[in-house]
Amino acid sequence: MAYTKNAEVLSPERRSFASSVNKIRDQSEKSLWAPRRVRRFGRIPRHRSLFWLLSLAVSFSICIGIKIHFHGTASSLQIGNEESAVNNVAEQPRKTRRQRFAPCEVPFLDSVTYLLEPEDNIKFARFSLGYVEREERTLLNEATEARFGGHQTFEDREKSYHATNQTIHCGFVSGPDGFPSTGFDLDEKDKYYMKTCRVVVSSCIFGSFDFLRRPTSKLISEYSKKNVCFVMFVDEQTLAKLSAEGNAPDDRGNIGLWKIVVVKNLPYEDLRKTGKVPKFLSHRLFPSSRYSIWLDSKLRLNADPMLIIEYFLWRTGSEYAISNHYTRHCVWEEVLQNKRLNKYNHSAIDEQFHLYQSDGLTKYDRSDPNIPLPSFVPEGSFIVRAHTAMSNLFSCLWFNEVDRFTSRDQLSFAYTYLKLKRLNPDKHLYLNMFKDCERRAITKLFHHRTDT
Ligand SMILES: *[C@@H]1O[C@H](CO)[C@@H](O)[C@H](O)[C@H]1NC(C)=O
Ligand SMILES: *[C@@H]1O[C@H](CO)[C@@H](O)[C@H](O)[C@H]1NC(C)=O
């Protein structure tokens, strides 16, 4: 029992280790049990053996009951522990594993001094996107509330996948006049500041889920310190907690390099879903920005943002860069894993997954030489983007999937990419799906907070 319980709260990697331990234990238990039972049955008269058999059956079913019960509590523990420091290899040092999850070399330029932004790359698709700002009253009868993501119909959703001049839903949709704010409210001064940013590094902590990790200052160039905006979005609860711990923002609203921006009136009850707003919609939050880097708050930035942009985007001629998952490549596996760890309501996952299967999502086939991506499952904690039309469209589409379905964005990534590709054969999203070991080389992973 204890094993089962532990297995539930372990990270996925340790978990698979634990489940193999479980299997071994099960087998050894069986072989321990079998001879004893035989001996006992040999001595006990027949009618008594029936009694024993019955009690065995009863205790077995009690066992199952307890097991289910344990599963129940373990899964509620699991909430808030999601993605929890997935690489906590240190607790269970195994050489092969450690090697497997070691960072790999990322050959950055030596300095930002001679960096030259490429001329606007003509291969990138050009079209202009507008965003739905306000829901019309006719769409909202009295029964429905205005929502941050708006009320996108299925027809609108289908159309939005076409890379042409059009106006699409992309969060920040307000209700008609007289409706309350749909959330993600920011101070005007912060908004003004955010409008000035050309290159952005951003992250968020909602619900005090993580400690604040400052970028490693000595690895950030003076150029970037002056020209890049480092913005950490927090809710009021997190700010209060940081301040109480002696980590209050200074006069300029900074903690180290991070400019702290407080978000009021969070748009979703699910804090993870709320976290996807800054994660996917940096082109909306920073309307003048041309490049952005997202990192989850469990990561510390250990490299210069301009060198990151040069390496992941400019050097490869890409407009969007994200790492692949360290172990899983197929959405089918990801769905199983999500359910196993009880990451989300199972029927909601099924609903989303069934729709995706009926609309073109295929299993990842590593033997297919024309496979469009090195993996169908991303490790989305680190994303580098040029704010081009195609990249912004992809970000909006991915966000809309998360808004409509589950906050588990690893489930919707490949579907969104493949559908966008299918519907726009002549317009390409230049996506650089890099190796997870590269992400590990430029960010340091920490455990989530456990004291909240
Ligand atoms: C799309 O918009 C751009 C500028 O906003 C314009 O130059 C172009 O002609 C438009 N394309 C079409 C097909 O309407
Ligand atoms: C789970 O998801 C289904 C389908 O989306 C929904 O009807 C149900 O209310 C959800 N259950 C919980 C406990 O949230």
pLDDT digits (tens, 9 = 90+) for 245-268: 999 999 999 999 999 999 999 999
pLDDT more than 90, % of the chain = 63
Nearest residue (CA) to ligand 1, atom 7: 127
Nearest residue (CA) to ligand 2, atom 14: 345
Q: Assess whether the C-beta atom of 347 lies below 6 angstroms from ligand 2.
A: yes
Q: Are residues 141 and 227 in the same domain?
A: yes
**Residue-range definition of the domain harbouring residue 270:** 99-445
User: In residues, how long is the chain?
Assistant: 452
Judge whether 93 lies within some domain.
no
Query: Confidence band (pLDDT; 50, 70, 90) for 433?
Result: very high
Q: Which residues contact 86 (CB under 8 A, 6 or more apart)?
A: 11, 12, 13, 326, 445
Q: Are residues 141 and 243 in the same domain?
A: yes
Is the pLDDT reported for residue 35 higher than 70?
no
Q: Are residues 37 and 162 in the same domain?
A: no
Q: Packing angle between helix 2-9 and helix 12-43, nearest 10 degrees?
A: 170
Q: Are residues 70 and 196 in the same domain?
A: no
pTM: 0.79
- Span 230-256, mean pLDDT? 96
* Pocket of ligand 1 from Cβ distances under 6 Å: 127-128, 165
In ligand 1, the atom with minimum distance to the C-alpha of 127 is 1
Query: Confidence band (pLDDT; 50, 70, 90) for 39?
Result: very low
- Span 422-446, mean pLDDT? 93
Is the pLDDT reported for residue 56 higher than 60?
no
Return mean pLDDT, the chain.
Answer: 81
Is the pLDDT reported for residue 451 higher than 80?
no
Nearest to 290, CA basis, from 314, 273, 311, 274: 314
Query: Confidence band (pLDDT; 50, 70, 90) for 98?
Result: low
Of the candidates 25, 48, 78, which is a domain's last residue? 78
- Span 13-26, mean pLDDT? 34
For 397, half-sphere exposure in the C-beta direction (CA atoms, 13 angstrom radius) is 27
Three-class DSSP category at 294: strand
User: Of the bound ligands, which one is closest to the alpha carbon of residue 352?
Assistant: 2
pLDDT on residue 168: 98
- Backbone φ, ψ for residue 447 (5° rounding): -70, 150
- Span 152-181, mean pLDDT? 95
User: Of the bound ligands, which one is closest to the alpha carbon of residue 347?
Assistant: 2
Q: Assess whether the C-beta atom of 354 lies below 6 angstroms from ligand 2.
A: no
Q: How many C-beta neighbours within 10 Å does residue 199 have?
A: 17
Q: Are residues 74 and 103 in the same domain?
A: no
Q: Assess whether the C-beta atom of 345 lies below 6 angstroms from ligand 2.
A: yes
Tell me the CA end-to-end span of the chain in Å, nearest whole number: 27
Of the candidates 20, 47, 78, which is a domain's last residue? 78
DSSP code at position 276:
H
Q: How far apart are CA 347 and CA 325, in angstroms?
A: 24
Query: Confidence band (pLDDT; 50, 70, 90) for 38?
Result: very low
Of the candidates 78, 112, 141, which is a domain's last residue? 78
Judge whether 89 lies within some domain.
no
Query: Comparing 150 with 82, which gets the higher pLDDT?
Result: 150
Query: Confidence band (pLDDT; 50, 70, 90) for 142?
Result: low
Q: Assess whether the C-beta atom of 56 lies below 6 angstroms from ligand 2.
A: no
Nearest residue (CA) to ligand 2, atom 12: 345
Is the pLDDT reported for residue 359 higher than 50?
yes
pLDDT on residue 68: 34
pLDDT on residue 94: 55
Judge whether 227 lies within some domain.
yes
Q: Are residues 36 and 134 in the same domain?
A: no
User: Of the bound ligands, which one is closest to the alpha carbon of residue 127?
Assistant: 1
Q: How many C-beta neighbours within 10 Å does residue 302 have?
A: 17
Q: Assess whether the C-beta atom of 359 lies below 6 angstroms from ligand 2.
A: no
Compute the distance from residue 132 Cα to the ligand 1 centre, in Å: 18
Judge whether 263 lies within some domain.
yes
Compute the distance from residue 267 Cα to the ligand 2 centre, in Å: 19
Judge whether 84 lies within some domain.
no
Judge whether 177 lies within some domain.
yes
Q: Are residues 19 and 134 in the same domain?
A: no
Q: Are residues 215 and 71 in the same domain?
A: no
pLDDT on residue 450: 74
Judge whether 92 lies within some domain.
no
Judge whether 250 lies within some domain.
yes
Q: Assess whether the C-beta atom of 79 lies below 6 angstroms from ligand 2.
A: no
Query: Confidence band (pLDDT; 50, 70, 90) for 295?
Result: very high
Query: Confidence band (pLDDT; 50, 70, 90) for 141?
Result: low
Compute the distance from residue 349 Cα to the ligand 2 centre, in Å: 10
pLDDT on residue 448: 84
User: Of the bound ligands, which one is closest to the alpha carbon of residue 404?
Assistant: 2
Compute the distance from residue 431 Cα to the ligand 1 centre, in Å: 24
Nearest residue (CA) to ligand 2, atom 2: 348
pLDDT on residue 18: 34
Nearest residue (CA) to ligand 1, atom 8: 127
Q: Are residues 106 and 58 in the same domain?
A: no
Residue type, 27: Q
pLDDT on residue 384: 98
pLDDT on residue 139: 65
Residue type, 109: L
Lowest mean pLDDT: which of 70-79, 98-107, 148-157? 70-79
Is the pLDDT reported for residue 45 higher than 60?
no
- Counted domains in the chain: 2
Compute the distance from residue 212 Cα to the ligand 1 centre, in Å: 43
Q: Are residues 17 and 143 in the same domain?
A: no
Q: Report the range out of 84-93, 112-121, 142-151, 357-366 with the highest average pLDDT.
A: 357-366
Residue type, 94: R
Mutating to test ligand 1, I would choose from 126, 128, 167, 168 the residue with most ligand atoms within 8 A of its C-beta, which is 128
Residue type, 199: V
pLDDT on residue 15: 35
pLDDT on residue 326: 81
In ligand 2, the atom with minimum distance to the C-alpha of 345 is 1
Compute the distance from residue 127 Cα to the ligand 1 centre, in Å: 6
Nearest residue (CA) to ligand 1, atom 11: 165
Q: Are residues 9 and 125 in the same domain?
A: no
Q: Are residues 11 and 110 in the same domain?
A: no
